């Protein structure tokens, strides 16, 4: 099962926050979610493997698989290469390679000893239909030492009270609970400034005798059609060209990505183009697709443990937490809340509104603190997204920052 989170700034102010017992929750019926895609020298050289001509051709096939976004082929090649190297006593003893079998520091990330091409397998995940393959790709890279921080906090025992009231939330991070509630467009933030400017300009034109109401009616009609039939994709595409708005989306999605990564949930990809998001069935302007193996297994068995639900909620509310951390309040996240609520009502017994509110507040508090502890990694992820970096580049930047800060 793939889970997907998406950001949206067109939402009404609401918070669905937190309660969770340690026992498993039975489900009323099975459900599924779509969340929120060189040649080496023939003589031994430093930091490089000896590659016979056949191996060179195979690496070319690997690069072609990466270009085709063929995860199965690319991953099978890397696993076979790893197996062959482990079976080769010369390479295993280091006679033909200076790579360390136990990576550490930056060398373990592929900057000194590892192969940079191994990272490219992450860029093939977006087109993968089998999320188990995506999970295998992350496990393989972690085993190779490229992803030392993947799942670093998957087993962490979070301290503090489970009863997170608005007062407790404010005393913990200094923000009112309302700051974590998605906002309607034009109600707060930069969107309210844009709305005031638009209404002021319209009033000025009418005072000058320029009547644009017919054109305005057409625009409103087109916007209504876009909202009904395309989920607001066209408006989102236009809005994405506005730098402040675009950066807020990046901050939101980087929050989802970083928390999912640290909690050990493989990321399939980050979709930042509203049209591509619509084509992939993601509600909202953007989305981060991740997978939780435990949640997939448990929900197939008709249950959901407390720890798995906690982890899922933390990833789900990480976008809202990231916006609050950077801007002091969140504007997007309506679809995140809707997905959270859809899960809660399927539990047996369903969570009450008060319990959902408490669970959401608890989750956003944990995600906020996790992002605050790794603020530099979050900034690195945002910067990589801003420059158009692929998933492998984004995760490599996260690992660089976290490894250098140790």
Tell me what the mean pLDDT of segment 271-278 comes to. Answer: 68
- Is pLDDT above 60 for 358? yes
pLDDT at residue 253, rounded to an integer:
94
Phi and psi at 273, nearest 5°, equal -95, 120
**What band does 36 get if pLDDT is binned at 50, 70 and 90?**
very low
Q: Report the half-sphere exposure of 259 (CA within 13 A, side-chain side).
A: 31
SS3 content of the chain, % helix, strand, coil (to 5): 60, 5, 35
Q: For residue 307, how far is the Cα from the chain centroid?
A: 20
pLDDT digits (tens, 9 = 90+) for 71-84: 999 999 888 888 87
- What pLDDT is stored for residue 40 in this prediction? 36
Token pair in block for residue 144:
């190779």
Q: Is the pLDDT assigned to residue 401 strictly greater than 70?
A: yes
Evaluate whether 36 touches 361 at the Cβ level (below 8 Å). no
pTM above 0.95, yes or no: no
User: Cis omega before residue 349 (within 30°)?
Assistant: yes
Strand partners, 59: none
Residue-wise DSSP of 280-294: TT--SSEEEEE--HH
pLDDT at 22: 41
The terminus-to-terminus CA distance of the chain in angstroms comes to 34
Please give the structure tokens belonging to residue 189: 């933030």
How many whole angstroms separate alpha carbon 366 and alpha carbon 350? 23
Q: Rounded to an integer, what distance in angstroms lies between the CA atom of residue 367 and that of residue 112?
A: 33
Dump pLDDT digits (tens) for 165-194. 999 999 999 999 999 988 655 455 555 555
pLDDT band, very low/low/confident/very high, at 37 (cuts 50, 70, 90): very low
């Amino acid at each position: 099962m793939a889970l997907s989170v998406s950001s949206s700034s067109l939402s009404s102010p609401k918070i669905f926050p937190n309660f969770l017992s340690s026992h498993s929750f039975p489900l009323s019926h099975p459900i599924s979610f779509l969340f929120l895609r060189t040649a080496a020298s023939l003589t031994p050289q430093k930091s490089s493997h000896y590659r016979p001509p056949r191996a060179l051709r195979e690496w070319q096939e690997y690069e072609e698989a990466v270009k085709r976004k063929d995860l199965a082929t690319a991953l099978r090649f890397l696993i076979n290469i790893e197996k062959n190297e482990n079976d080769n006593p010369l390479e295993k003893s280091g006679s033909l390679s200076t790579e360390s079998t136990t990576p550490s520091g930056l060398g373990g990330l592929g900057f000194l000893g590892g192969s940079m091409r191994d990272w490219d397998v992450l860029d093939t995940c977006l087109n993968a239909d089998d999320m188990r393959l995506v999970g295998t790709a992350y496990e393989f890279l972690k085993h190779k030492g490229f992803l030392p921080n993947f799942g670093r906090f998957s087993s962490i025992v979070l301290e503090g009270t489970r009863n997170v009231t608005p007062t407790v939330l404010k005393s913990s991070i200094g923000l009112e609970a309302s700051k974590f509630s998605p906002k309607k467009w034009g109600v707060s933030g930069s969107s309210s400034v844009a709305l005031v400017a638009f209404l002021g300009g319209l009033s000025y034109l009418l005072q000058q005798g320029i009547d644009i109401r017919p054109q305005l009616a057409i625009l409103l009609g087109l916007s209504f059609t876009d909202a009904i039939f395309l989920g607001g994709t066209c408006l989102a595409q236009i809005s994405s060209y506005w730098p402040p708005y675009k950066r807020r989306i990046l901050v939101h999605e980087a929050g989802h990505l970083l928390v999912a990564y640290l909690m050990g949930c493989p990321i399939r990809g980050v979709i930042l183009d509203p049209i591509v998001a619509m084509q992939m069935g993601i509600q909202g302007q953007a989305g981060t697709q991740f997978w939780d193996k435990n949640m997939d297994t448990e929900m197939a068995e008709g249950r959901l443990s407390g720890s798995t639900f906690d982890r899922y909620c933390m990833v789900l509310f990480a976008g809202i937490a990231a916006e609050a951390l950077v801007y002091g309040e969140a504007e997007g996240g309506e679809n995140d809340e809707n997905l959270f609520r859809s899960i809660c009502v399927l539990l047996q017994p369903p969570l009450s509104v008060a319990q959902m509110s408490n669970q959401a507040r608890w989750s956003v508090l944990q995600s906020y603190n996790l992002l605050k502890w790794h603020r530099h990694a979050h900034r690195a992820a945002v910067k990589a997204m801003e420059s158009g970096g692929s998933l492998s580049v984004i995760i490599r930047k996260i690992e660089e920052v976290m490894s250098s800060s140790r």
